[in-house]
Every structure is written in structure tokens, then in C-alpha cells.
Structure 1
Amino acid sequence: MFPVNLPPVFNTVHCDSEDGTTSSRKKTALSAINTVKSVMAVPENELKRWRRIFDSNAQIVVEGEKYLSPDQFVNAIAPKGDLTKIGRAQFATLFPVADSSKRGLVSWDDFVVFETILKRPDADYWIAFQYFDVDNSGTITYDEFKNVFKANIGPDAIPFDFDCDWVKLYLGKKNGTHVLGYNEFTQLMKGLQGERLRQAFKYFDADQDGFIKPDQFKRIILELAGHKLSEAVIERLPTLCTLTPGGRISYSEVVAFHNVIREMDMVERIIREATAKSKDGRIDQSDFINHCSSSTRYSLFTPMEASIIFHFAGRGSTTSRLALIDFAQLLDPRWRAPTVPSKVKPETKTGSFLNEVAHSVYNFVLGGIAGAFGATIVYPIDLVKTRMQNQRSTVVGQILYKNSFDCIRKVFHNEGFVGFYRGLGPQLIGVAPEKAIKLTVNDFIRSRAMDPETGRIKLYWELIAGGSAGGCQVIFTNPLEIVKIRLQMQGEAAKLEGAVPKGAVHIIRQLGLLGLYKGASACLLRDIPFSAIYFPAYAHLKKDIFNEGYNGKQLSFFETLAAAAIAGMPAAYFTTPADVVKTRLQVEAKTGQTHYKGMADAFVKIYREEGFKAFFKGGPARIIRSSPQFGFTLVAYEYLHKYLPYPYQDKHREVETALTTQPEDMSKIRARNALKILLDVHGDFARRSAA
């Protein structure tokens, strides 16, 4: 275990009360000691990780010991790719908290203590408390609070009256007669912005008519919450005066705007949930308020606050129905207006066309790989399904298989394990373009029919996209399946009849070009409805059942597989009659078997000779095959896109915020949140310290 030296505050415990009861100061100091003692409970691998971070950043060596400078300390604790406007340099504000010896350097012992504090669930408030507790006494006096506050704001800041009634309620009427323990301090910090807002408004409202000018409102918000707003919202802050007549801003509007900022995470949750449930992916003020009322115990937002939200999201319009992307400038402090070229040059159009072609080729290749993967996994099931579907109750001679399990047993006994993969070669050769064109066409049509702002697509376009994908694949599917089926049927039957199995090349020559498309009409009748059912079902299962995209949720491997597999069940079963007819048309009829002239003739004769149930022969086997096949195919397709992304693809306009992004390291997130609490004291708090 690495040695850890305790800072002075952790080595002293005070008892201020005469009767020996534990004082607030003692409680705080004891809590600090317990925090550092918890180092002993930190797993060894955690300490090793901290050591790697420390050693990789500590570049200063004094008497053989490594130390972190303020800049190196920032590199060690600041989150990477943080989704806020807080600059990395501002994390240097937390340096004095880690530098317990006040020597301007952070040692390994200091770093361990700081990281241990970050493991506390209340690390953000605890660090802020330590920042204000200058003398390490475990309490904060009136003078400490006042001096630290003034030291971190500029002389041009809006004045704050420390002799106000609000401060006296926390710290008493006489300076120094009452001190704040940790818990009391957290409540003071939570209410501080509200008091500063009140004092700032009163400062600018010199004539006390209850109104201030737009530029004065902007200055107040910049000092209190400028780090929480995007530049687009900041620029339009003065437009708040347009909500009411008179060209000025009331105290009610200032408080309402501040409440929106303070509850921004809840605003985002309500907007995301409401737009996700909306049929068109858009909401208006009524939808927002209604969803807020139904999802919170009390009405969290007033009508004025809702108007302010829609005012800044709708760029002045409070009556529009807005999509999630419209709220991005309010929800995302890093938001920047998308650049739109004023004129598209001819070469740009050419480049765009070539890019689309390249993207389609990319999707085609990944679709082929995914299709081959899925087909290989379920090919034995497909072989059993084919043999069961072709078995006729009126055939001359014995029935080969009693059921699917009997078929599996006999194939394994008579043909071995390899028998389950008879005909796999042509299947893999053909399945690549078959699945590739299906996935590519579906993606292409969906992308063209999709609303770019909401990401929604109408149901009839989903059906068109899926049906078109199924129809286009037949050009590859039919030749592939007729060869595959004839190869599959040779195994057991050839052995019984003493025939010599024929290869794929012989079958192709025997059939000819037109023969390869025998049964194509039945193939179309099967594949168009199959894809029209499958792709919309898959999309809606992911979105509506597994909640993909809900508050930024990404589906796990098993959730994606389940959605894809479940979607294949109804699609496979309801298209079984067309698959039975297609199989009968494509199999080479033997002596004594019924010959079919075409699809209509096959439907009639099968029904007359074998009954309605014959149309669903192999239905369960078809579900067992198609469900996992498309499950593994689509999982492979999506994961290939994830890990082998198209390098030139335009990024979809999504709203990515800290609410929807998984933290890389919880301790770094807590360090960021501690800095936010200090920034809430004043917008220049950390910037002045960093400078």
C-alpha cells in the first residue's frame, strides 16, 4: 500500500462545546479524517491507476520525488472531450485544494488524498467547502466567505452586499459569532445565486419600477451563468424584452430565465421524452407543459418559463412546433450554428455524387460480410427447412422424415456434420450481394425519406423502403436459391435412389439463364412482404420497446440481437406460403411427383392435394432459421458500421450533451462539477484564478 501523509486539517479535531458534545467543527474534521482513511479501502488496481496518471503527468522532480505543477495537475484531472464550455485551464482553480502544504506543487500523497475525496458522492460540494475553508479549521466564518468571494471576482463585477439580511440569516447578525459547518455551507451555496440575482436586479433598478434594460439583464446572466449558455443564446439574451410590451425586462422574467438555466437537466429530459413520444417528433408549449405535469409530481415549470424556453429555441417564435434539434442551442453550451454554403459549385455536386456512390459501395461491402456471417450460422436450419418443405405426402414411396428433429438425426447419421452445410458455397457466393443490396436499398430509401431534424420516417415510407429492398434482392436471390435448394435436396434422396450428386456448375448449366429465374414471381411474393414487415418491425422494436436513443441510450449487443430476431418471426411465418410455392417450383420434380406450370397452378394444386396446412410446412423451421439469421446479420451490419465507420459521412445533427454521454471517469466528472459550483459564485471565479 502506498504511504499517505495527512494534511493539517486531518490531524486536528476540535471540541468547542463545554459539555463535551460534538460540535459542527468536530463533525466536519471527523468526516475529513474518515475520507482520508478510506484510502485504505481503495482497491489496489485503483491506486495503481492513480499512480500511472500521476507518473505520466508529473514532470517536476525535487529531491528525488515527483510533483505536479498546476498545468500538470490540470492534465491529470480534467475530463477529455468535456461537453461544457469550461476550459481545461480553469481546472487549475482546484489546485489549491489538492496542494494541502501550500508549496505550489502537488505530491503523490496530495494527489491520492484529492482522488480519494473525488470518490465521495458529495465530492463537488466538499471540494468547494475546502476552497473556502482557508485556515483548514473545518468551518467557514463570515470573513472567510467574504474574503474568498471578493478575491475571485473583478472590481468591475456587480456589487454584492455582504451585510444583507440573507447573509445574516446564515452567519448571524454579528460578524464571527456564527460559523458554517459543511452541511450549512452546502445550503448557502445552493441559495447564493438566487440572492445575487435579487441584489443585481435591485442594483440596476435604480428607480425601483420593477424593470431593467436588456443590456443590464445580459450582464447579470453573464456573471451568474454565462458558462452554462451557448454563444447563440448569449447573443440573443436582450431579446427577452420582446415577450412583453415596453422593451424592458421585469424581475419575474429574470427569475423565470434563471430557473430555466438552473433546471436545465430537467428541461432536457422533458424535451427528449416529449419529442420521443410525439408522432411527428415535434412539440409545442402545450405538449411541453402537459408532459411536465405528467412526469413530475408538481408543475415544475410555469407558463412564463415554458415561453422563455420556446422563445430561445424557436428564435423568437413561441408558437412553432419544434424538434429536439431546435432546442440544441439552449441545451448544449458548446452549440454553434451550422455553416450553410451560399452557393453549391458544380464540382461540389460531383464530389457529393461520388461520395454517395462510395458510401453505397461501403454499405454494400459491409452488408455482404454481415450476410455471409448470418447465413453461415443458420445454414443447417435452412437445410432442414428446405427438405421438410419439399417432402410431399402424395409422393410415391416412403416419407423420408417424420419431423424436423427426425430430419436432423438422419442427416447427421447418413451424411455427417458436413451434410448440414451441403450447398453452403453457392449460398455464400450469392448471399453477399443478396443481403448487401437489401440492406443498402433499405438504408438508402430510409435516409432519403427521413426528416433530417427529427430523424423520423413515416410508416408508409418504411414499408416502401423495406418492400423495395426485398424486391431488388430477387435478382440475386432467385438464382442463388434454386441452385442451393437442388444441392440441399440431393443428400438423402440421392443416397436412397443411388444417384450421383451433381455440383453447382452442372445445375447452372442444366438450368440456363432463364431457368435460374424459375419461381421468381413466388420469390418476389415472398421477399417483398418479408422485408416490408421486417425492417419497420426491427426499427420500431429498437425505438419503442428497447428505447434506443431515449436520453442517449445505445442498445447493447443482446438488445440489438433480440430486436432483430423478434422482427424476423412474423416476417418469416406470414411469408411461408410463398416460400413453399417457390421451393416447389424450383426443385426438380421426380417421377410420380406433381408438376407445376406456374405460381397460380402451384397454389391451386398444393391446396387441392395437400390442404391448407401444406402452405405452412416448414414454417417453424423457417422462423427458427430466419429469426437468428437476420438477427446475427443485422447485429454484424450495425457493429461493422460502428467499428469501421465510413470516413466521409456527414454527421447526423444530434443533440449531444453531458446528460446523454457516459462519463469516462466518475472522479473527473465530480471534479468538473466542483468547478461548476465555484463558477456559480461568479462567472469569472475560475478564470481569474487560472489567469
Structure 2
Amino acid sequence: MSSPTTVKEAVKSSLLGSEEPVNLSASYRATFLSNAKKDEKTGEPVMGPEEFIEAIAPANEDYSKIHRNQYGILFRVADRSGNGQVTLGDWAAFLNLLNKSDAEYEIAFRLFDVDRTGTVQYEDFRRLYELNKGEGSIPFDWDCEWAKLYIGDKSKRHNLSYPEFSQMLRGLQGERIRQAFQRFDNNKDGYIEPEQFAKIIIETAKHKLSDHLLENLSTLCNISTSSKISYANVRAFQNMIKEMDLVELIIRKAISQSSDGKITRNEFLNEAAKITRFSLFTPMEADILFHFASLDEPSGRLGLQDFAKVLDPQWVSRGISEESQKRARLLQEGKLAAPSALMKVAESAYSFVLGSVAGAFGAFMVYPIDLVKTRMQNQRGADPGQRLYKNSIDCFRKVVANEGVRGLYSGVLPQLVGVAPEKAIKLTVNDIVRGIFTDKKSGHIDLPYEMLAGGTAGACQVVFTNPLEIVKIRLQVQGEMVKATEGATPKRSAMWIVKNLGLKGLYKGASACLLRDVPFSAIYFPTYSHLKKDMFGESPTKKLGVLQLLTAGAIAGMPAAYLTTPCDVIKTRLQVEARKGDTNYTGLRHAAKTILKEEGFKAFFKGGPARILRSSPQFGFTLAAYEVLQSVLPFPGKAKEQQVHTGVAEVISSMREKDVASPHARSRNALKIILDIDENFGRVRTGDEKAWKAVPRFMGGN
């Protein structure tokens, strides 16, 4: 059995730490050495209180509502030997402590364990509290029944172990609020004035709250019929701020399932009931949350931007965080350089390459259908007996039978080469024009401008589309021409066709191509955008999956493809090489009149079903691949897309990332626990030299 001494040493080692080997990253070692000074006795680098504050609280950090000099109270925790110096080993141990899951409570415990015994004595705790409480602050009765439950009565005081001390700290803020409420409730009717409530919260929780909350505390009385604030209101408010992390989780989960990125009070409570085992939040607590979040937006439906003003403790006046203000100042001073011209070119090239790969992928997936569509559209004559193919399925079968499976991919190579820049231009131009006409604040774009963006994209792509189409079409139909003439007509290569046509010939039928591509894109892109948003609920907080993107793209392609089939038929007839006995069309109007006269109106929709089966999934594959590639292969060094400044989603998430990597962030969280005792804890009071002579040096005393 272990001896009491061994057990005590084990407890002390666990709580107070032992001499660990120095194991620091290069950056943390550099931080220590850049702030340390040489010890006159040993010659080793060490940090005193001032150097420690420089290291743990660098001047460029955001201290929000915690004074920078208050970080000095952590010096005693880092100074394990108690000699007023922090060595490299001490610094390493302190950083290891910050990485512990319960770092905030253990730091507070070590601070009050003055004699390093592994327990906190009541006298030490009370003395440090009295020396650090603010002048004119609301008194706290340490002889109250609540305190006695933790530390015993005067005649039976006992020391607090680490678990006991941590549990006492967790309930301390609530007891401070209760005592303060009783002190202000002079009439003993369970009500206090709004100004008194504001004073209580500012003294007990200011370091955890946003400016938006602090400036509007007195409006809490507006949630009830009374002009005063009840104790129930106060407790409900405290419970909400105490469970802010859980509130944020519930809000983000509920909003992710909302079609418009906003939720109501009932939706919040419903989601809370799903996430928590029991109904953790009362109706009054939900009322308080929505009251403060909706002061600037009284619609009843709130988004992350609204809740961020309540949940983000760094949210300051006018909803602009310190980080954002700092960035704005640097931009104004010219310290943050704008993206260079080279960077813009690189980003454009990046978008072009992704669009090219996505376009080639989409075209390859549906190429056999495209070949069938072309051959169906090229069939002439009103008499079914004169036609080579009865329908699309018959065409597909005969191509495989006469030319093999490879025949389905006749002309695929120039299609893949040409479709890359074509699709890249279409996607890029659509994005650019949409960006010009999109409202920067709301992110809304009117339907006419959506159609204009799509139509502009379709017009720009014709530069690549027309040469591609004419070469592709001639390669697609030459297989049946060879079969029909029993080998008399030799197979031509893509290069032969290009040389034979010349530059002017490559743009034959360009007017028909424009007539097809402009309305196609004007219909397609707005339909695709609205399907994603209205049918699948895409929002700044909801990202669609590949299957949803494919479905939206495929559905959007159906009306766009079928309604533009007449233009595609005319374009095909103009671009295909006429066989012996076939009519030679002289232009767009001549082709339209001749087809109508010789074959009837139905001829304009030849290959319509095949066109739907080709265009619809092709654009679905292309756009889905484009968006997936953007997610999988983001542009190097590019900041994440700022869809909506949510505060909660961005600022708090970034803070949590910093919690893992930044000693300052974890130290700040530890201070927030300590400041629950009193907001002035660790703040040096000038002009009170006598009082501070009694304060230990590690607390800033003389």
C-alpha cells in the first residue's frame, strides 16, 4: 500500500506539475528567447513578470474587455519555483498546462494554492479576493450559507481539493448574482430596476459579453408586462450566457436545416429538444435570447448574423469585431496589399483550368447521346421510308452494329479539346456578370440580370463553340456516309476538315449557334441557381452534395435543351457537309424556310429527346464537377469565400482554432474563469501603495 507521503506527492505532481523535459516548438522557443533576459547569477535566459506579459499577451492581440496587465496574475502559475523568474523549462510546462482540457480551472487552482500544497486554503482565497476586488463593487458575503456548503463554518473550515475548488468556481457567478439581486430588492417583492440589473451583469459577467448585450441590458424588462426585472428574468439571462456554446450549437444546427438560413423561437426550442436529452432551455430563456438577437431585426426570423451579436463576446458596437476593425485600419493605411495583377491572372487561370476539366468530363460522359442527336437531326425528307433511322434508339443500335462501340465516340477528341475552353468561358463569364449585378449586401440578383448573365456567357462561348461544333458534326456523320457509299468516301481526320474549311468555313452557321447558345444559357443558369436554392435549400450555412448538384443541373438542362432544339437543328443542317441530292442551305433564314416547307414544323424538334438526354446530364456533370473541384482543389493561398459574415460561424470558429494553437487564447479563457470572482482581479490599482505592499509580488505587489 502506498504511504500517505507518496500519495500526497503524487497529488502534488499531478496538480502542480513536475520538472518535464523542455519540448517546445521552434516558434514557442523563439517567443521565450525574444522576450527573456539573462539572469545575472546563472547567465541563463529567464523572464520576469513584465517579460512574461509581453510573451503571453503580445501587443497585437485583441484583449477585448480584459486589461492586458491582468495577464500578470498568471506569472505565479508559470513560476513553479516561486523565485520570481520563469525559465525555459517553466515556460514549456506552462504551455503544456494550457493544452490540457481543464486548463482554465487548473490555472485558477494553482493561482490560489499559495503554498503549493495541492489544496486551496480559505484564508488564502479570501485574502486574495479582498486585495483584488474593485472599489465600489457590489459586496459579496463569504460567510453566506452557499459558501459554508463548500468550505464549512467558521469553526470547521476545511481546505478545498482541486475538484472541489473547480466546482465552487463554477457556481460562484450565480451566487454573486443572487446576493446582488437581494441587495437591490429593497421592497422584497422579487423585482429590481433595469439599471440595477445592468450594474449586476456588468460587474459579474462583463468580460464574457458583447457590447451589443452590455448596451442593451436595461431592455430586458421589455419581455414582460412589468417595467421592472424579476429574479426569474435574471436567472434565465444567466443560464443563457452560461450555456452559450450549447446555444450556438443548437442555432447552427437549426439554421443549417432552414431554407432561408433563419429560424424562429419555436424552431430553436424544437432543435434544442432534439439535441439535449431533457428540455434544457425554458421558454423564458428562449425569449431572452431572441429578444437581444432581434433588437435590430424584429421580424421573428433570425440568422447567424443576428445571434452573433449575442453569442460572440468580441462583438463590439455596430457589429464590427476588433479583428475586422484592425484589418480595416491596416487596409486604410495601405499595410495590407491588394492582390497583385499576377495573382489575379493566376486566379483566372485556376478558374479556367477547373472549368476546362469539368467541361471535358461532362462532354465525355454524354458523347454517345450527342452523336445520336446529331445524326437524327441530319436526317432529311418527310417520308419515313427515306430515313436511315427510325428513332434515337434505332440510331444507337445501328451505329454500334455498323461502326462498333468506337463509332459512338467518333470525333470525341476535338470535342474534348474544344469543350474545355468553351465551358470554362461560359462558367467564368456567367460568374463575372452575376457578380456585377448582385447586390453586395443581400447577395440578391434580379431574374432579368440572371438571364442577362447567362445569355452573355452563351454569346461569349460561340467563339469556341462554332468551330468545335462544325468539326465534331462532320466527324459524327461521316461514319454513316462511308457506309452509304460503300467505302467510296474516305474517312477524314479532324485536321483535314479544319484545313478544308478554312477560318471562314469554321464559322459557318455561327448565327444559328448564337441563336441557340444565348437563350440556352439564359434559361439554364437562372434555373440551375433557383433549383439549388428553392428546391434543395442551398444557403450560406447549407452546402449541397454532389447528387443534389447533379440533379439540379440535370433538371435545369431539360427546358433549356428542348426549347432551343429548333436552333440546334438549323445549326446542324448548316454545318454538316451536304450529301449528293441534299439541299444546300445558303443561310439561317433559307434553312428555316426550307426545313419547314419540305419536312414540316415537327422537323425542328428532331433529336429533341436525345438533346435533353445529352445536354441535361452534360451540364449537370459539368457544373457538379466544377463546384466539387473548387472545394477539393482550392486556389492556394486564397481566403475562404465570405458568403455571409455570421460572427458565430466565422469569428468563434477562428477563435477555437486559435485556442489550440495560441497560448494567449487559452490564457484569456483562464482569466475569464478567474474574473468570475471579480472583474478587477489582477488589475494594479495606482494610488493605493499601502494596500499593494501587502500583495505578493507575483500579484503585482511591491
TM-score range, shorter chain: 0.7 to 0.9
Of stretches 118-127 and 59-68 in structure 1, the one that deviates more from structure 2 is 59-68
Match of 1:375 in 2: 356
**Where does 1:96-245 land on structure 2 (aligned, <5 Å)?**
96-174=76-154, 177-244=157-224
Report what 2:11 is aligned to: 28
Q: How many residues align?
A: 620
Partner of 1:674: 670
Task: Please give the residue correspondences for 1:444-455 in structure 2 after superposition, counting only pairs within 5 Å.
Answer: 444-445=436-437, 447-448=438-439, 452=442
Alignment of 1:308-319 (within 5 A): 308-315=288-295
What residue in structure 2 maps to residue 336 of structure 1? 316
1:530 equivalent in alignment to 2:530 = no
| Cα distance in 2 for residues equivalent to 1:686 and 1:536 | 56
Alignment match of 2:455 (pick from 471, 476, 482): 471
Query: C-alpha separation between the residues in 1 aligned to 2:616 and 2:403?
Result: 13
User: Structure 2 counterpart of 1:15, which letter?
Assistant: P
Equivalent residues in 2 for 1:422-441, closer than 5 Å: 424=417, 433-441=425-433
Does residue 663 (structure 1) correspond to residue 643 (structure 2)? The answer is: no
Partner residue in 1 for 2:392: none
TM-score (norm 2): 0.73
Give the whole-Å Cα distance in 1 for the aligned partners of 2:700 and 2:533: 49
Counterpart position of 1:9: none
Distance 1:217 1:405 in 2: 84
Distance in 2, matches of 1:680 and 1:686, equals 12
Shift of 1:282: 4.3
* Residue 137 of structure 1, CA deviation: 0.2
Mapped pair 1:509 → 2:504: yes
**Rounded Cα–Cα distance in structure 1 between residues aligned with 2:569 and 2:612:** 15
Write the letter of the residue equivalent to 1:138: G
Q: Answer whether contact 2:38 2:46 (CA < 8 A) is retained.
A: yes
Partner letter of residue 683 of structure 1?
E
Matched residue, 1:54: 32
Please say if residues 272 and 281 of structure 2, whose CA atoms lie closer than 8 Å, have aligned partners that are also in contact. Answer: yes
Q: Deviation at 1:192?
A: 0.8
Matched AA of 1:379: A
Q: Normalising by structure 1, what TM-score?
A: 0.74
C-alpha spacing 1:366/1:534, structure 2 compared with 1 (3 Å): farther
Partner of 1:15: 4
Could you tell me how far 1:129 is from its partner in structure 2? Answer: 0.9
CA shift for structure 1 position 438? 1.3
Aligned in 2, Cα 1:30/1:641: closer, same or farther, shift over 3 Å?
A: closer
Measured after TM superposition, the shift of residue 97 of structure 1 is 0.5
* Residue 408 to residue 569, structure 1, CA distance change in 2 (3 Å): farther
Matches of 2:581 and 2:545 in 1, distance apart? 44
Any conservation in 1 of the 2:260–2:537 contact (CA below 8 Å)?
Answer: no
SS of corresponding position for 1:680: coil
* TM-fit CA distance, 1:224: 0.6
Q: Does the CA-based 8 Å contact 2:557-2:620 persist in structure 1? A: yes
The residue that corresponds to 2:690 in the other structure is none
Paired AA for residue 586 in structure 1: K
CA distance in 1, matches of 2:237, 2:139: 21
The one of 23, 26, 45 equivalent to 1:66 is: 45
Structure 2: give runs of 5+ residues left out of the alignment. 321-338, 380-386, 390-394, 480-488, 586-590, 685-698
Pick one of 669, 679, 685 that aligns with 2:681. Answer: 685
Partner Cα separation in structure 2 for residue 469 and residue 110 of structure 1: 62
User: Distance between the aligned counterparts of 2:597 and 2:315, measured in 1?
Assistant: 61
Structure 2 matches for 1:642-657, cutoff 5 A? 643=637, 653-656=645-648
Structure of larger gyration radius: 2
**Structure 2 residue aligned with 1:568, among 538, 553, 568?**
553
* Cα shift readout 1:592-618 (whole Å, capped 9, x = no counterpart): 697794499599969989998x54548
Distance verdict in 2 for CA 1:660–1:232, change over 3 Å = same
| SS of structure 2 residue aligned to 1:315 | coil
Whether the 8 Å contact between 2:261 and 2:303 is mirrored in structure 1 is yes
Matched with 2:382 is none
User: What is the aligned partner in structure 2 of residue 10 from structure 1?
Assistant: none
What are the residue-to-residue correspondences of 1:279-678 with 2, within 5 Å?
Answer: 279-315=259-295, 320-338=300-318, 370-376=351-357, 378-379=359-360, 382=363, 384=367, 386-387=370-371, 389-392=373-376, 406-407=405-406, 420-421=413-414, 424=417, 433-445=425-437, 447-448=438-439, 452=442, 467-489=451-473, 493=478, 496-497=490-491, 501-503=496-498, 506-510=501-505, 515-524=509-518, 526-538=520-532, 544=538, 549=541, 567-572=552-557, 577=562, 584-587=569-572, 588-589=575-576, 590-591=578-579, 597-598=591-592, 614-617=607-610, 626-634=619-627, 643=637, 653-656=645-648, 659-661=652-654, 662-666=656-660, 668=663, 669-678=665-674
SS of 1:100's equivalent in the other structure is coil
Q: Give the Å deviation of 1:626.
A: 3.7
Where structure 1 has 5 or more consecutive residues not aligned to the other structure, the ranges are 1-12, 341-357
**Cα distance, 1:423–1:651 mapped onto 2, change above 3 Å:** closer
1:99-141 superposed Cα distances (whole Å, 9 cap, x missing partner): 1122333111101111222232211111111111111000112
Give the equivalent residue in structure 1 for 2:72.
92
Contact 2:354 2:424 (C-alpha < 8 Å) held by counterparts = no
Instruction: Rate the CA distance shift 1:147–1:626 in 2: closer, same or farther, 3 A.
Output: same
What residue is the counterpart of 2:588 in the other structure? none
Deviation at 1:389, TM superposition (A): 4.0
> Hey, what's the Cα distance between the residues in 2 that align with 1:581 and 1:211?
77
Q: Structure 1 residues 173-182 or 391-400, which shifts more?
A: 391-400
Superposed displacement of residue 29, structure 1: 2.0
Identity of paired residues, percent? Answer: 28
Offset of residue 624 of structure 1? 7.1
Q: Deviations over 1:145-164 (max 9, x none)?
A: 21222232124222111111
